[in-house]
Chain A
Amino acid sequence: MNYKRLSETLVTRCQRFGADAAEVYIQTGRTLSIRILNSEIDTIQESSSSGVGFRVIVDGKLGFSHSNDFNRRSLDETIKRAIAFAKLTTPEEHNVLPSDPGITEVEGLYDPEITEVPMERRIEMAKELEAIALRHPRVSMSSGAGFGEGEGEIFIANSHGISKSFKRSSCSLSVSVVSEKGQQRNTGGESCSRRFFADLLPVDEIAATASRRAYELIDPVMVRTQRASVIFDPRVASSLLGGVIRALNGQTVLQGASFLGDSMGEKFASANLTIHDDGTVAKGLSSRPFDGEGFPTGRNTLVENGVVKSFIYNSSAAKRAGTESTGNASRGGFTSLPGIGTHNVWVEPGSYSRNEIIAATERGLLLTGATGQGIDTVSGNYSAGASGFWIENGNIVHPVMGLTIAGSADAILNGIDMMGNDIDMNRSFAAPTFRVAELQIGGS
């Protein structure tokens, strides 16, 4: 099926049925998922599917409908539903669609080779990954390994003349194993996702990380409730900084529901904190040439030396705020309206090595596992379950589990006093190791 042409035709259908402005979003895709358990295939799932979402504006009112049935009569019916539904909503000046015809050039979003990998090879890779992770003497069981891949295409057309599409792919390897000692049991996992098959890390590297994470927290020691430094491992950076990103959501700010709502141009965090959002990183897992409503993506600095530089917007929130879209319309697939979200987020690295940060810490927690909901966007309150390693006099002395950490965003973010230099840009939320000078730690 020529989806590009179909998307354009459907825009015209929307207008014919009464839409003043219309957007058609078509998504097609194929996925494969293989799960291995104890050297056998556990599950193998394959699918291909597609669907379409209609966003229509009638007299300033917004309606939306979606369907995965491409039968012509059904599509017409779905469009009419969106238009009928629009009549129920409140007219708003900021119900707008983008008109920028630009497409940002982004390298490396689609790997044609992925499809060519033979099924047996994929299965073998997952089996090998599991076998190597299990080989470590302190690892006792597998909870599974997997290979996944997907590819798909997105088509956006709207009544302002936009008609864009792009193709993307990704693949991943993952494994999870268990380490036991007496009554103790701990899981360790690792995964690697890439746009290109050839860029996947070697299986022994992924396996080694999973094994180590399973056994390294065995024999934890409880520490008392106290205030001490907390060093955030790159894997848990988003537990804290994800809340900053959510608070910069322009829609949340407009609703008065962000703790950073009044902080534009203000310093709210340590000068060590600079955060960028970039939709254009070559081969980036969250890169795309245009956002979820067809607006070209770019690179934005959200926080610079602790100062709020930019909120993030889609077209509608930007119009309401009296500004321009930042190319941050996000889409949870063809079944939902565009929301607001980031692309590849990265924290500007500092000058310290991870070891220097640990060595400079008299007493504190090296946090490698954090659970919970992160910073509360509305109140700025932060609380998390914590595990990792205890540090005394600049040395790791023992693992810790079952702790909590908490504080206000204001105190924690201003307390970032050391920024590391160890960033892995392959993550869609990339940050180096960093330290918060003092945090409340809950223990015995």
Chain B
Amino acid sequence: MEKFSVRDIPRRKFLEMSAKGGLIMAATPAIMSQLVSCGTGVAPGLDLDRETLSRVIAKALEKGGDYADVYIEGRNSRQIVMQESRFRSGLYGVSQGAGVRVIAGNQTGYAYTDEVTTENLMRAAEVASYVATNGISAGAVALETPDRDTFVTVQRPLEEIADSKRIEVIERANQAALDYDDRIRMAMIDYYDQVRSRVIATSEGVYLRDELPLLFFIVQAMGQEGGARHMARQRISQHSGFEIFDTTPPEEVARKAAREAIDMLKAEDAPAGIMDVVMENGWGGVLVHEAVGHPLEADNIAKGIGAFTGKVGEKVASDVFTMVDDGTIPNYRGTINWDDEGVQARKNVLIDKGVLKGYMTDVLSAKQLDMDRTGNGRRESFRNIPIPRMTNTYIDKGESKPEDILSSTRSGLYVQSLSGGSVNSVTGVFNFTCREAYLIENGRKTVPVRGATLIGSCLEVISNVDAVGDDLDFGPGVCGKGGQSAEVTVGQPTVRIRGINVGGSRG
């Protein structure tokens, strides 16, 4: 039942969809909405002194337990939406809160509060300690800040950017999309930025505090000609300031979306059945994020039910397949200085030339499996417990030339861009929807075909990767797991996968 997915639906749709679920879990707004900005000052709770936090941790472990932590978060967010050349709305959000967690054996207790006061934290500590029953009380610890590397640098801080600058990049993108071709009927631009401040204090004596800015810029363009319509999308995102637009001008993002919208107007029905698939470099990496990445997150491994359970050291993929999760790539969307449990981010080689090297852990699963902490314990917000999550995940580059991979594929499907997909990480069965794809005929990319679903199972797909290009590239995404979303990057060079089932409507 546990499903994971990376989708690139726009934020508002995401919220509508989660609202449609109908459950009352209304007190858990998706992070996605906690958009963006800064300037009203920090949440007061972030300034709680270390002695107080130390007392909260002692309270949490009063009845026993192995580990406890306090997580305090402030988030200021900003979102501006343009649709049909009109500025539809401006959204400003302030969110703050803190959670206390206790781990006792395999059990986790968690409680949080919106109002960060000593009294509320003490109460949360008491609720969280419900799982601790061994009665061995730990004493208070002294909290110290350890040496840590950081991987996020800011040149043009978001809090110093006038709103008129934000408006300007949106207008430029909109104009560039409409100017691309008469058949672009509409563009939708979503601009988001946020600054998330974190304080992490643990029963191991760690105290860390930092601020992570994030900028997310999405351009959708709709092409129409006669009855044919296609909605295209292009996105950029980084943990950085406004300098993201110095390297990637908004027009460039818009033109890429517009090009896809126009090219796909000529799309024909996709073929159905099992065939070879060549995936273009970049966002296509979402396939391994789902198909391999999620099953390598250690929570299901620790429970003994994950698809890769007990396979470390085994050959699980073809020789050309190396996969990495790296939370340290400077300023990438999936980059974290340290995870939300205070563990230093690092580069983890998950699969090396086909051999499984390890899993991505959080504090709990690392303890259960007696493995290293890999810096993958992440949480959507103070309303959630940390769980193992990916950061920047990619297939490492190989030696093939992308053009040779295509030309040596007699027939099949060339996937230029995926919408997103999901996986059942116990069975490893995954699915994806193509957004932009073409037929391959005699080693050449020919007619575009309509969005088809690709399905397969994780162990098969990585054994069937038989060519890996030298053109590694990345794309930003939103990853959902267990009701929590996380910002991630996925990446890959051009790769070929033999034998994927393609859900086309043409026999």
A contact residues vs B (CB 8 Å cutoff): 27-31, 37, 40-51, 62-70, 74, 77-78, 81-82, 84-86, 88-90, 92, 141, 143-144, 148, 150-152, 154, 168-170, 172, 174, 176, 178, 185-187, 189, 191, 193, 225-227, 255-257, 259, 285-286, 292, 330-337, 339-342, 371-373, 376, 378-379, 381-386, 401-408, 428, 440-444
Contact = CB atoms under 8 A, between A and B. Distances in A.
A49 B503 contact: no
Given A27-B27, A85-B91, A151-B24, 16 more contacts: A47-B27, A51-B114, A66-B91, A68-B114, A152-B26, A185-B426, A335-B15, A337-B12, A337-B89, A339-B12, A339-B16, A339-B19, A372-B421, A381-B450, A383-B504, A404-B502
Interface stretch (B207-215, B301-309, B464-472): B301-309
Contact of A68 (B40, B96, B130, B502): B96
Interface residues of B, number: 98
Contacts of B113: 47-49
B433 to A, nearest CB: 5
A138 to B, nearest CB: 15
B305 A178 contact: yes
Given A31-B25, A440-B272, A259 B229 contact: yes
B502 A332 contact: no
A82 B92 contact: yes
Contact of A44 (B27, B105, B109, B457): B109
B263 to A, nearest CB: 14
Given A225-B272, A340-B16, A406-B453, A88 B80 contact: yes
Given A88-B80, A379-B230, A62 B25 contact: no
Contacts of A408: 505
A42 B505 contact: no
A235 B501 CA distance: 23
Q: Which of B300, B455, B456 has the largest number of chain A CB atoms within 10 A?
A: B455
A444 B91 contact: no
Q: Which of A40, A65, A74, A372 has the largest number of chain B CB atoms within 10 A?
A: A372
Contacts of A376: 231, 451
A129 B419 CA distance: 37
B92 to A, nearest CB: 4
Contacts of A151: 24
B304 A141 contact: yes
B89 A45 contact: no
B65 to A, nearest CB: 13
A43 B97 contact: no
B452 A383 contact: yes
Nearest to B28: A31
Interface in B404-461: 419-422, 424, 426-427, 429, 431, 433, 450-453, 455-457
A186 B25 CA distance: 29
A187 B114 contact: no
B33 A78 contact: no
B502 A257 contact: no
A293 B457 CA distance: 44
Contacts of B230: 378-379
Contacts of B13: 339
B264 to A, nearest CB: 9
Contacts of B272: 225, 404, 406, 440-442
Contact of A379 (B84, B229, B455): B229
Contacts of A30: 27
B165 to A, nearest CB: 11
A68 B95 contact: yes
Contacts of B507: 225-227, 440
A89 B108 CA distance: 45
Contacts of B25: 29, 31, 148, 150
A417 B51 CA distance: 70
B505 A407 contact: yes
A377 to B, nearest CB: 8
A170 B28 CA distance: 14
B142 interface: no
Contact of A69 (B24, B96, B222): B96
A378 B230 CA distance: 6
A88 B166 CA distance: 10
A286 B273 contact: no
B97 A68 contact: yes
Interface string B144-165: 0000000000000000000100
Interface in B82-126: 83-84, 86-97, 105-115
Nearest to A35: B108
A157 B15 CA distance: 22
A278 to B, nearest CB: 13
A37 B303 CA distance: 8
B396 to A, nearest CB: 28
B505 A69 contact: no
B235 interface: no
A249 B285 CA distance: 32
Contacts of B89: 62-64, 89, 337
